Amino acid sequence: MVSIQFISFLFSIAVLSYFAAMFLIDVGIAVFTPITKEGSYKSKMSLILDALWAIIGTSAVYLVVTLESVYATITYVAGIALLLPFLAFLIFLALHHGFLGYAEGFGFLGIKHLEEKYILAYSIPTIILAFIGITIFTSVLSGIGINASTLEPDYVKMFFNPFNIMFFIAIAAYTIYYVTLFFNMKDKLMIAGISLTVANALILAGLYAYVPYVFSKAITNPGFWIYLVVLYAMLYSLHKGFRFNNVISVILTAIGGIIMGMFMYPYVLNGAVNVYSLMTNPATLAAADIVITIIGLFVVGGLTAIAYKILYKSKQPQVTTSSHK
């Protein structure tokens, strides 16, 4: 029989993967907006960002609370080993939210130049946020920069180690592929293909060198290879202009996160700590799972889709009107 702990683990990985899939759209837009010319994909990106950023921000709280409810002991990991990255994360998160809020507020008032100014400003803290977020993830996965028995951190090692840098570049490359697919940028097909290959190569090389047990699980699992084939097949779909590329790209990214989680299972810190030893008491886990599921079903799935669809559609005419002006 499946244990409550395993179900809770699955929930936590699913929420983490959902957040990653949403946040990477944010990061991708932050990367593309300053370098994309007006009139191409810029307006579309602006629409998506306006519609989704607050939901992405709320998903961060959903993730933190889910992790706290499933892994009570994680509070000690956060308070001792990950104190600096978490506090640094907050600094840039505040700037990210602030600049986006200003941009949206001015956009609502029709003050275009101020909206654009703050959209440009938001991209810097967003990329730094992504780097810190990835650092937290790679440290927990590989244990680099964290003493597994005392949780004593070595921050220089944690931030500036080859595995973290490789992973950051890999995620940046994957983001290019992801955003290309999400926004149906047919003209960037080649770049997307190269980016995806770079991302896969760097992630596999990093896992091989620094977290070998995850690497072994991945390459011996047929599901992993099928997943890779599907990712490349999506490039063909992009070429053909399949209309659901955006939705599928989000789902595929979330599935990628879940696959990574399953390969890590049941360890963190490079096999030194079993996740079950970090878990909350079963009574709280069972209760938390019920509410997390309800939120997941009604909010994460349904309302995100509704909000995206309605907002996206409802803002379309405004853009058309303003462009005529």
Partner 1 sequence: MDIVLFDRAFTPFIIGTHMLYTIWAMTLPIYIVIAEYLGYKHNDPVYYAIAKRMTPVMIIFFSVGSAFGVMIAISFLTLWYKWMYLVSQIDIMPLIVEVFAFFMEVIFLALYVYGWNKFSRTTHLILGIAIAIGANMSAALITWVNSWMNTPVGFNIQAYLQTGKIEDVNPWAVFLAPAARYEIPMAISGAIYAASSALMMFYAYRMFRVKDPLEKEYYTKGAKLAVYFASIDAFLVGLTGDYAGKSLAVEQPLKLAAMEDALYSGKGLPEVVGPIKIPKLLSFLATGNPNGYVVGLNAFPKSEWPPVTIVHNAFDTMATFGIIIAIISWLIAISLIFKPKNALFRILGLADGKPFDHFLPKAAMFISGILGILAWESGWVAAEVGRQPWVIYGVMLTSQAANTSPIVIPVAIALGTVVVFLVVYTYYLLNKVFKTRPIALDVQRAAEELGSLGTAYLNGGSFVKLSSSEGKKEVKK
Residue ranges in contact with partner 1 by CB under 8 A: 50-51, 54-55, 57-58, 60-62, 64-66, 68-69, 71-76, 78-80, 82-84, 86-91, 93-98, 100-102, 104-106, 108-109, 111, 114, 280-281, 283-284, 287-288, 291-292, 294-295, 298-299, 303-304, 306-307, 310-311, 314-315
* Tokens read off for 39: 């009139």
Nearest Cα neighbor of 280 from 4, 94, 33, 78 is 4
DSSP code, position 187: G
Say if CB 311 and CB 50 are below 8 A apart.
yes
**Least separation, in Å, of the C-beta of 195 and partner 1?**
30
Q: CA–CA distance from 306 to each of 26, 43, 303 (Å)?
A: 18, 20, 5
**Least separation, in Å, of the C-beta of 201 and partner 1?**
33
| Residues counted in the chain | 325
Closest to partner 1 by CB, 251 vs 287, is 287
Closest to partner 1 by CB, 60 vs 228, is 60
Closest to partner 1 by CB, 84 vs 235, is 84
**Least separation, in Å, of the C-beta of 1 and partner 1?**
22
Closest to partner 1 by CB, 226 vs 287, is 287
**Least separation, in Å, of the C-beta of 49 and partner 1?**
12
Residue 150 in 3-state DSSP? coil
Closest to partner 1 by CB, 82 vs 146, is 82
* Residues contacting 166, CB < 8 A, separation 6+: 202, 203, 205, 206
Residue 243 in 3-state DSSP? coil
Q: What's CA 144's distance to the chain center, in Å?
A: 21
**Neighbour-count burial of 52, counting CB atoms closer than 10 A to its CB (0-12 exposed, 13-18 middle, 19+ buried):** buried
**Least separation, in Å, of the C-beta of 286 and partner 1?**
8
Closest to partner 1 by CB, 142 vs 280, is 280
**Least separation, in Å, of the C-beta of 324 and partner 1?**
17
- What does the alpha-carbon distance between residue 168 and residue 163 come to, in Å, rounded to a whole number? 9
Closest to partner 1 by CB, 91 vs 247, is 91
* 317 prior amide bond cis, ω within 30: no
**Least separation, in Å, of the C-beta of 113 and partner 1?**
12
**Least separation, in Å, of the C-beta of 241 and partner 1?**
27
**Least separation, in Å, of the C-beta of 204 and partner 1?**
32
Residue 167 in 3-state DSSP? helix
- What does the alpha-carbon distance between residue 121 and residue 114 come to, in Å, rounded to a whole number? 10
Q: CA torsion, points 291, 279, 134, 255, in degrees to nearest 10?
A: -50
Closest to partner 1 by CB, 84 vs 191, is 84
* Tokens read off for 165: 């840098």
Beta bridge partners of residue 146, listed in sequence order: 153
- What does the alpha-carbon distance between residue 314 and residue 249 come to, in Å, rounded to a whole number? 23
Closest to partner 1 by CB, 149 vs 281, is 281
